[in-house]
């Protein structure tokens, strides 16, 4: 019986050693590690895509109350969660029930973006108070007519600050006196 058990062990060893189609243990280990690394990388890409917003790092911007002077409206930036270049923003304006088409925000303080709503031309100025060339608290937006005061009286306006993908960041509404 002992001879039979010995032969059984010998047969199993010879089958393993003579099987040339099998993968060596070293290659098998390398393949397992490679597969694990690839799966981990794919999982990381999938999860990081879910965590990061599609529009990038969109800041949170808050406005102070609108002030009106000489027929123009000024919207002050009260807070910004991060300093971002103005080239990442768009602006838009709604007059009554009519909304313009979003345009790129001026990239230099003191310059303006122009939009036409119902054949009336409006200007939106950005004033970079600190000169940092980023939107920060203290900066402001001024909405005017085309070198004219906003009119007529009792007209409602809404200023929109948008992200480069068109998604809304903040808005502020007022009416002319």
Q: Name the phi and psi angles at 16, rounded to 5.
A: -65, -45
Structure tokens at 71: 């027929």
What's the pLDDT tens digit per position in 15-67?
555 556 667 888 889 999 999 999 998 888 877 766 544 445 789 999 999 99
CATH number (domain holding residue 118): 2.60.40
Question: Are 127 and 134 contacting, i.e. CB atoms less than 8 angstroms apart?
Answer: no
Residues 44 and 90 in one domain: no
CB atoms within 10 A of CB 162: 21
Domain limits at 40?
A: 2-51
| One domain, residues 67 and 29 | no
- Calpha distance 82→53 (Å, rounded): 15
pLDDT at 13 over 80: no
Q: Indicate the SS3 state at residue 153.
A: coil
Q: How many domains does the chain have?
A: 2
pTM above 0.85, yes or no: no
Per residue in 41-50, pLDDT (tens digit) is 888 887 776 6
Q: Which residues contact 154 (CB under 8 A, 6 or more apart)?
A: 175, 176, 177
Does the residue 56 lie in any domain?
no
How far is it, in rounded angstroms, from Cα 82 to Cα 13? 68
pLDDT exceeds cutoff 50 at 169: yes
The residue behind tokens 């939009």 is 115
Q: Indicate whether 101 and 154 sit together in one domain.
A: yes
| Whether residues 157 and 109 fall in one domain | yes
**Is residue 24 located within the same domain as residue 87?**
no
Domain assignment of residue 31, yes or no: yes
Same domain, 68 and 43: no
Inside any domain, residue 16: yes
């Amino acid at each position: 019986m002992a001879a039979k058990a010995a032969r059984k062990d010998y047969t199993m060893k010879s089958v393993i050693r003579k099987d040339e189609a099998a993968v060596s243990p070293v290659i098998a280990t390398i393949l397992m590690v490679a597969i694990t690394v690839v799966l981990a990388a794919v999982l990381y890409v999938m999860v990081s895509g879910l965590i990061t917003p599609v529009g990038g790092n969109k800041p949170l911007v808050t406005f102070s109350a609108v002030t009106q002077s000489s027929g123009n409206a000024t919207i002050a930036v009260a807070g910004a969660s991060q300093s971002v270049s103005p080239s990442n923003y768009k602006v838009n304006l709604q007059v009554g029930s009519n909304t313009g088409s979003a345009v790129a925000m001026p990239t230099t303080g003191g310059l303006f973006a122009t939009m036409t709503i119902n054949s009336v031309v409006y200007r939106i100025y950005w004033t970079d108070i600190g000169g940092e060339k980023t939107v920060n608290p203290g900066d402001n937006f001024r909405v005017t007519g085309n070198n004219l005061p906003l009119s007529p009286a009792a007209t409602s306006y809404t200023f929109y600050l948008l992200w480069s993908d068109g998604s809304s960041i903040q808005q502020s509404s007022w009416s002319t006196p």
